Amino acid sequence: MATEKTFYLETFGCQMNAHDSEKVIGTLEQQGHRQVDAEEDASLILYNTCSIRDKAEQKVFHRLNDYKALHKAGKRFGVLGCVAQQEGEKIFERAPYVSLVSGSASYRKLPEMLARLEAGETRITGLDDRQTDETFETEFTARQNPYRGYITIIEGCDKFCAYCVVPYTRGKERSRTSTSVLEEARRIADLGYSEIQLLGQNVNSYRDPEGKRSFAELLAVVAEVPGIRRVRFTTSHPRDFTRDIVEAIDAVPALCDHVHLPVQSGSAKVLKLMAREYTPEWYLERIGWIKAARRPISITTDIIVGFPGETPEDFIQTMDLLAEVQYDGVFGFKYSPRPNTPALVMIDSIPDAEKAQRLQVLLDRQREIQRSNYAKHLGEVMEVMVEGFNPARGQVVSRSSQNKPVNFTSSQPIAPAPGSYCRVKITATHPNSLVGEAI
Ligand code: SAH
Ligand code: SF4
Ligand code: F3S
- Residue 2 clears pLDDT 60, i.e. is over it: no
| Architecture in CATH for domain 381-438 | Beta Barrel (2.40)
pLDDT tens column, 113-161: 999 999 999 999 999 999 999 999 999 999 999 999 999 999 999 999 9
Show the beta-strand stretches assigned E in 335-420. Answer: 381-390, 395-400, 405-409
State the pLDDT at residue 12. 96
CATH class of 261-375: alpha beta
What is the per-residue pLDDT for 71?
A: 82
The sign of the torsion formed by the CA atoms of 205, 208, 211, 217 equals negative
State residue 216's pLDDT score.
98
pLDDT, residue 313, reads 98
Please report the atom of ligand 3 found closest to the CA of residue 16.
3
Cβ contacts of residue 274 below 8 Å, gap of 6+?
A: 161, 162, 163, 264, 265, 304, 307, 343
243-251 helix and 280-291 helix, angle to the nearest 10 degrees: 20
Return d(Cα 310, Cα 232) in angstroms, integer: 33
User: Which pLDDT score is estimated for 349?
Assistant: 86
**Domain assignments of the chain as residue spans, ordered by start:** 6-126, 145-256, 261-375, 381-438
Tell me whether domains 261-375 and 381-438 share a fold: no
Q: What is the pLDDT of residue 1?
A: 41
pLDDT at 406 over 70: yes
User: Residue 68 pLDDT more than 50?
Assistant: yes
**The one-letter amino acid at 317:** Q
Instruction: Indicate the CATH number of 145-256 among 3.30.750.210, 2.60.40.1170, 3.40.50.2300, 3.30.70.580.
Output: 3.30.750.210
Query: What's the rounded Cα separation, in Å, for the pair 153 and 201?
Result: 10
- Among the listed ranges 92-96, 176-180, 200-204, 270-274, which one has the minimum average pLDDT value? 92-96
Tell me, letter by letter, the H, E, C secondary structure of 12-59: CCCHHHHHHHHHHHHHHHHCCCEECCCHHHCCEEEEEECCCCHHHHHH
Q: Is 199 in the pocket of ligand 3 (CB under 6 A)?
A: no
3-state secondary structure (DSSP) of residue 208? coil
For 158-196, the pLDDT digits (tens) are 999 999 999 999 999 999 999 999 999 999 999 999 999
C-alpha to C-alpha distance for 294 and 274, rounded to whole angstroms: 33
Mean per-residue pLDDT of the chain: 96
Supply the Cα-derived Rg of the chain in whole angstroms.
Answer: 22
Q: Is the peptide bond before 6 cis (omega within 30 degrees of 0)?
A: no
Q: How far is the CA of 316 from the centre of ligand 1 (A)?
A: 20
- Closest by CA to 143, choosing from 101, 78, 110, 190, is 190
**Residues 381-395 pLDDT 10s:** 999 999 999 999 999
Query: Global pTM?
Result: 0.97
Cβ within 8 Å of residue 98, ≥6 positions away:
64, 77, 78, 79, 91, 92
- Give the number of C-alpha atoms closer than 13 A to the C-alpha of residue 346, restricted to the C-beta side: 20
Q: Give the whole-angstrom CA distance, residue 108 versus residue 106.
A: 6
Residue 386: its pLDDT value, please?
A: 98
**Residues 6 or more apart whose Cβ sits within 8 Å of residue 341:** 162, 163, 164, 165, 168
Mean pLDDT in residue range 327-333: 98
What angle is formed at CA 199 by the lines to CA 308 and CA 402, rounded to 5 degrees?
90
> Ligand 1 pocket: which residues have CB below 6 Å?
52-53, 163-164, 201-202, 235, 237, 262, 264, 302, 304, 333, 335-336, 338
Q: How far is residue 110's CA from residue 236's CA, in Å, rounded to a whole number?
A: 29
Q: Is 13 in the pocket of ligand 3 (CB under 6 A)?
A: yes
Query: Nearest C-alpha to atom 7 of ligand 3 is from which residue?
Result: 166
Strands 298-305 vs 6-11: parallel, antiparallel or unpaired? unpaired
- Are 408 and 396 in contact, with CB atoms under 8 Å apart? yes
Closest by Cα among 242, 82, 91, 46 to 157:
82
Distance, first Cα to last Cα, the chain:
58
One-letter amino acid for residue 270 of the chain:
V
Q: What is the pLDDT of residue 67?
A: 85
Q: Taking residues 401-419, report their average pLDDT.
A: 95
Task: Return the closest-CA partner of residue 82 out of 125, 52, 114.
Answer: 52
pLDDT exceeding 90 applies to what percent of the chain? 93
Q: Residue 197: helix, strand or coil by DSSP?
A: strand
Ligand nearest to the CA of 49: 3
pLDDT at 4: 84
Mutation to probe ligand 2, out of 154, 155, 166, 263 (largest number of atoms < 8 A from CB): 166
234-251 pLDDT, tens digit each = 999 999 999 999 999 999
Please report, for the chain, how many H helices and E strands are present, in that order: 14, 19
CATH superfamily of 6-126: Methylthiotransferase, N-terminal domain (3.40.50.12160)
